[in-house]
A and B are shown apart, each in its own frame.
Chain A
Amino acid sequence: DTGVSQDPRHKITKRGQNVTFRCDPISEHNRLYWYRQTLGQGPEFLTYFQNEAQLEKSRLLSDRFSAERPKGSFSTLEIQRTEQGDSAMYLCASSLVPQRTYGYTFGSGTRLTVV
């Protein structure tokens, strides 16, 4: 287990198309987070799971966005009817709670470009 994996690394899609991203967390981590990062900004929270339960969704997450973690392992993030404003880096992170530190391990991200 070498860390958090995200697939694909890059995705170019036409406006209006649906896209799905996958995240495989560190295997023993029970929490999984999705963040979005645009150029020059810090990671912006989207949603997170503890095991298979989705515990919080940001108000920024419109109804075009949906995330799942069906078996408490990998997660998918789907964006329906993509818009140009969805262009960003989508970062996944995982952590284990409870533990001494609450720090995340991030994946390398999926860069989405909507044209």
Chain B
Amino acid sequence: GENVEQHPSTLSVQEGDSAVIKCTYSDSASNYFPWYKQELGKRPQLIIDIRSNVGEKKDQRIAVTLNKTAKHFSLHITETQPEDSAVYFCAARDTGFQKLVFGTGTRLLVSP
């Protein structure tokens, strides 16, 4: 089955800096890669996703890139703001059973 690794586990940046979170996956047939943001005590919320037929997708200050050859994908947040502080999870869709397999999360702290 699919296995997803996520790095770093914590990331501290100054407001206005960029943040990059990286994930690798094991199943080369995986075809869907979402990113979720989870604020303390709240539900994970989908912030951006990418399918395997696309190399990059952007939505305002966030972007996701996918390298199928290397089996890794990354979340890029530009011009970070304190409200971006949260735990971010990457995931990959297991093609066998079609469920999402999640990474272990990255705690992002944006300092004013």
Query: Which of A's residues lie within 8 Å of B, judged by CB?
Result: 33, 35, 40-45, 48, 55-56, 91, 97, 101-109
Contacts and interface: CB of A to CB of B under 8 A. Distances in A.
Q: Which 9 A-B pairs have the closest CB atoms?
A: A42-B102, A106-B43, A103-B46, A102-B32, A56-B97, A108-B43, A43-B102, A103-B34, A42-B104
Contact of B44 (A56, A91, A97): A91
Interface of B: 6, 32, 34, 36, 42-46, 49, 89, 91, 93, 97-105
B99 A56 contact: yes
A78 B21 CA distance: 36
- B contact patch SS: strand
A8 B22 CA distance: 35
Given A45-B101, A48-B97, 7 more contacts: A35-B102, A42-B91, A42-B105, A43-B44, A102-B32, A102-B49, A109-B43
A43 B99 CA distance: 12
A96 to B, nearest CB: 13
